[in-house]
Structure formats: C-alpha cells, structure tokens
Amino acid sequence: MAEYIYVDFDELKTVCVGILKAEKFPEEKAAEIVDVLVEADARNIPSHGIARLERYIKERNAGFIDCFSEPETIFETPISAIVDGKDGPGQCVSKKSMELAIEKASKNMIGLISVRNSNHYGITAYYSEMALKNDMMGIAMTNSYPLVVPTYGKESVLGTNPISIAIPGKIHPFLLDMATSVITRGKLEVYNRLEKEIPDGWAIDEKGKSTESPSHVIKNFNERNFGGILPLGGLGEDFSGHKGFGLSVLVDLLTAGFSLGQFSAETYTTNNAGVCHFFGAIDLKTFGNVEEIKDKVDQIINSIVNSEKADGQEKIYYHGEKEYEARKESLKNGVKILKNTFDKIKKLASDNRITMGQQ
C-alpha cells in the first residue's frame, strides 16, 4: 500500500525553492518552477508534481535546462509571437509566453504564441488557466518526449502532447486538460508498480500488437525499441484511435510546426530538449458581452452536470472540477505527497542543508 504524508502548501513551496536555490537555480526561476509543480500535487496530479524536482536538477546538470537563459521573441505581430525558449526551464519560458499572449489579448483581443527550444513545463492547465482572471479564454499545449504511436504504426514518434482549454464562467470555469493519448506514461508506471495487467487498447508491443504487460512497454521505452502508448481512442480505427492520433499531430504542428522547432520525435535527441509549446489568450469581448457569455457558459455546464446520471453514479463532473476540489482540500489540510516522493525531497533538502518543518 502506498503511504502518504500531508505537507503545508506554502512550506512545501519554500522547501522546494530552497533546494533549487541551493542547486544554483536563480531564485525567481526556482519560484516559478516550484509554483507549477506544487500546483500539480495540490490538484492531485502527482505525476507532474514535486517528484519531478530531481529530474529537473539532473536535466540542468546534463545541459538540457539552462537555468540562466532568458526567452527571446524572434518574430512578432500585434496578435502573435514566436518565442525561442533558449533551453530555459519550461515553466519560466511558458509563464512569460502566456503573459505575452495575455498582454497582446488585452490590447488586441487575441494573442497566439508558438514556442521552440523549451523544456518540460509541468501541468498544461496552469498556463491556460492564467487567462481566466482576465475574462479570457486560455489555450496551452506542448509536444513532448516520444511515447505514443500513430494509428497503424509501431514507432513512438509522438508525445502524449496535451491540450488545455480554459473558458471563463461565473460559477464554473471550464478547464479541460488532456493528454491526446489514451493514457500517460505515469499510469503505465502505476500499473507496473502494482504488477497489474493493463487493458487491451492502452499500449502496443514492438510488433504493433496490443499488450497487457506494462513492464514490457516500459522495457521497450528504455531500450528505445518499437512499441508504445496508443493515441486517445486506442488501437486502429474501431474506437477512433485515428482521432487521438490527429489531435496529437495537431499539437506538433501548432508547437513545432509554427515555431520551426523540433517535433516530438526530435525532442531530447540532440544536446537540448527542444520541447515546443503553443499558448493562446482570447478576450471574451471578441464575441460580445462578457457577462452574458459567462452566464451562458454556466447555463450550458449546469444543464450538462445536472442531466440524468448513469445507474450507480452520483455525479457528472465538469472539466477542472475534481482538480479545484482537490486544491481546496490541499490548502486546508496540506498537500498529499507520496511518502516515497517526500523522502527524496527530504534527502535533497538535507544534502543541501535545508531545514524542514516537522511533518
């Protein structure tokens, strides 16, 4: 059984920032990185949380992440920009790029930013959500390390390539954040640790056949062999796997295609990560009266979540709701962290002579 520990939200941030600072990350950048990571844990998305801290330090040490560089705008119009991330930390590059999108949208109703030469940026919803407080629709997506196979293929040339869209409402902000694959690598690893079989339609082996063995898929990843995770919709076209495949390609075109960067299969192949992102902000004023639109968003979401439940089900969740609830809980009772993850953080802290509060 997995053991958990509850850590105060702010305390957790302070400790993690301290670790990155001790590891020679500049303070401002450390704070930006940690902010995104702790938000993930607070929302119960531990795969994108502080467990990544160690990996980021390793990637900095290996030269993938340049924690001193500043992103550069290399092309610009009043409503758009191409940003070169200069191998900076994904969180820092992305926060600045999304701020630029919002600034452009404040002036000209819309801002669209395509980014190249960045790194892993954490949870996608963090950036799309930034637009909500300005009564803007937010868009964020990223390509990523290749783990996903095309429909009828067996070579993982696509990332899990998540898409997030945020739309403001008065009661219910809509906050979709979805990998375009049927599952993430994190889920595969959970099943592997539990020594559980995975269902048909999640992943394929090196021949392109569906497999029930998560360890087999992970072994193939580690040996850079064929096989991988299936796109949303699963194997072939019977359950519309070609649609997930299409959404994944779309992400690579908007991120790497528009920024002339590296597409998923090309990330982490050279001396940089080369991850590419896409961000957008659209002021709701673009479509008329903001208050009326937000009321309408609430009304549509209300109608959907109040519709008849399947027998045995109690609730239809709107997108973002589970994460908002988890965040509220985390602020009140502490952020739930796997003991295993927490022990690693403690070790990183003690290696760097950082004092932690009593947990």
Minimum Å gap between C-beta 326 and a second copy is 15
Q: Does 167 participate in binding a second copy (rule CB under 8 A)?
A: yes
Minimum Å gap between C-beta 239 and a second copy is 6
Q: Which lies closer to a second copy via its Cβ, residue 222 or residue 307?
A: 307
Cα dihedral 255, 183, 47, 43 sign: positive
Residues 308-337 that bind a second copy (CB under 8 A): 308-313, 315-319
Among 22, 300, 326, 338, which residue interacts with a second copy (rule: CB under 8 A)?
300
Q: Does 160 participate in binding a second copy (rule CB under 8 A)?
A: no
Residue 342: HSE in the Cβ half-sphere, 13 Å Cα cutoff? 19
Q: Does 190 participate in binding a second copy (rule CB under 8 A)?
A: no
Q: Does 191 participate in binding a second copy (rule CB under 8 A)?
A: no
Q: Does 123 participate in binding a second copy (rule CB under 8 A)?
A: no
Residue 271: HSE in the Cβ half-sphere, 13 Å Cα cutoff? 3
Q: Does 279 participate in binding a second copy (rule CB under 8 A)?
A: no
Q: Closest Cα partner for 127 from 40, 45, 46, 68?
A: 40
* Stretch of residues binding a second copy (CB under 8 A), selected from 25-33, 51-59, 174-182, 340-348: 174-182
DSSP-derived pairing of the beta strands 335-338 and 4-7: antiparallel
CB atoms inside a 10 Å sphere around CB 305: 14
Among 27, 28, 288, 357, which residue interacts with a second copy (rule: CB under 8 A)?
288
Which contacts of 324-328 are long-range, i.e. CB under 8 A and separated by 24 or more positions? Answer: 324/43, 324/175, 326/42, 326/43, 326/44, 327/39, 327/42, 327/43
Residues 131-150 that bind a second copy (CB under 8 A): 149-150
Q: Closest Cα partner for 273 from 26, 18, 55?
A: 55
CB atoms inside a 10 Å sphere around CB 225: 16
Q: Which lies closer to a second copy via its Cβ, residue 207 or residue 332?
A: 207
Q: Which lies closer to a second copy via its Cβ, residue 155 or residue 329?
A: 155
Q: Which lies closer to a second copy via its Cβ, residue 200 or residue 351?
A: 200
Among 23, 35, 66, 155, which residue interacts with a second copy (rule: CB under 8 A)?
155
Q: Which lies closer to a second copy via its Cβ, residue 195 or residue 308?
A: 308
Q: Tokens in use for 143?
A: 């390509």
* Stretch of residues binding a second copy (CB under 8 A), selected from 9-17, 19-27, 296-304, 324-332: 296-304
Among 1, 195, 224, 307, which residue interacts with a second copy (rule: CB under 8 A)?
307
Nearest-angstrom CA–CA distance, 88 and 340: 28
Give, to the nearest 10 degrees, the angle between helix 27-42 and helix 9-22.
140
* Stretch of residues binding a second copy (CB under 8 A), selected from 5-13, 59-67, 119-127, 282-290: 282-290
Cross-strand partners of 147: none
Minimum Å gap between C-beta 324 and a second copy is 15
Report H helices in 1-135. Answer: 9-22, 27-42, 53-61, 90-108, 125-129
Residues 209-268 that bind a second copy (CB under 8 A): 209, 226, 232-234, 238-240, 242-247, 249-250, 252-253, 256-260, 263, 265
- DSSP class of residue 158 equals B
CB 160 within 8 A of CB 143: no
Residues 92-111 that bind a second copy (CB under 8 A): 109-110
